[in-house]
Structure 1
């Protein structure tokens, strides 16, 4: 079972939350993501995509803080989604040292720079905000291990898609995982840019 092979800290949190049985999508996707492959993970609403994102991110970072610059980046559509995902992460990081930060367009960029400078492990951000941070040297990307996009349908908007293209050009080699309900043609095109030899997992 996928949960049995996750970091012990994650297993303890799942037990405390009484989450025992993985969804069909989690059974298929967690081992593939853990393998380090680039992955398109597609599934209907409530199929467990967000929980999969959280669990595999924590596992990748071994549930412990390290260094000052982020080792995981997660792109989301807007402020509402950034804060919701932040709250979801906090539930799973209560008993470990990982530092999670949520940035979004409405928060002053200088404030984000100074807060990120204090040291974080997981950065949740919108594409436009992350692009601004990179242009202003407000975030380092040298230590990024995993780069995820949550509910990636929002990338059909040209401005966010362009911001993503700009962001990924400045990334070192890392693992990419894209979550969506369906495989949109625009998402499939990411394979030409940074999703090298991706695996597609759906349920």
Structure 2
């Protein structure tokens, strides 16, 4: 099955072909139109099923670059190593050197983080704890968030970061929520049901 089924933009289609991605995964086929269409859902799929690539493509399809100090997309990830991988994936797939994506890090001072965000960004990647800390210092503006992504939700739960996730979600208001995990259980729903009530679960084995 070809990438045509994902209905990507010409630029993203070309980029994926250059990177050697010629066939979408089952999970990507199920969720791409939902992401681009602004639907919220919980995506359950095993490692290697293309969850990250799916939401990276979806965000890039929805993105209208504007160099705004208020980001449009917030991606929460369990650790900074994973965050760096996500940023790299965005840059690699977009092939856009001017893509404004920022990863917040505890290794830098709070002032540096806030100053960096004020320079303008479209996409912010961070751990829940780091994003919350910067938000409480009035450095992370959530007023214009369009899509709120929880990556590797099961690992975020294992590390006990559910409360920062819920606090950030409450601060975003009505946006598109995307949660990705390898498992669906009570702990997952305890974290997301408050801001994703009665949401559809999309699952592949």
* Same fold at TM > 0.5: yes
Where in structure 1 are there 5+ consecutive unaligned residues?
none
| Aligned equivalent of 1:49, options 42, 48, 51 | 51
CA drift of 1:192 comes to: 3.0
Task: Give every structure 1 segment of 4 or more consecutive aligned residues whose post-TM-superposition deviation is greater than 3 Å.
Answer: 1-4
CA contact (8 A) 1:42 1:182 kept: yes
CA contact (8 A) 1:25 1:48 kept: yes
Residue 114 of structure 1 aligns to a residue whose secondary structure is helix
Query: How does the TM-score come out when normalised to structure 1?
Result: 0.91
CA distance in 2 between partners of 1:86 and 1:72 (Å)? 12
Q: Which runs of structure 2 are paired with 1:24-39 in the superposition (5 Å)?
A: 24-39=26-41
CA drift of 1:191 comes to: 4.5
CA distance in 2 between partners of 1:132 and 1:95 (Å)? 29
Give the match for residue 22 of structure 2: 20
CA drift of 1:66 comes to: 4.5
Kindly indicate whether residue 200 of structure 2 is the aligned counterpart of residue 202 of structure 1. Answer: no
CA distance in 2 between partners of 1:202 and 1:57 (Å)? 20
Give the 3 Å change call, closer, same or farther, for CA 115–66 of structure 1 in structure 2.
closer
Where in structure 2 are there 5+ consecutive unaligned residues?
none
Total equivalences in the alignment? 202
Residue 170 of structure 1 aligns to a residue whose secondary structure is helix
CA contact (8 A) 2:42 2:180 kept: yes
Kindly indicate whether residue 157 of structure 2 is the aligned counterpart of residue 143 of structure 1. Answer: no
Query: How does the TM-score come out when normalised to structure 2?
Result: 0.90
Give the 3 Å change call, closer, same or farther, for CA 197–65 of structure 1 in structure 2.
farther
Give the match for residue 194 of structure 2: 193
Deviations 1:16-43 (A, max 9, x none): 2121110011111112222222110111
Give the match for residue 182 of structure 1: 183
Q: Output the aligned Cα RMSD.
A: 1.8
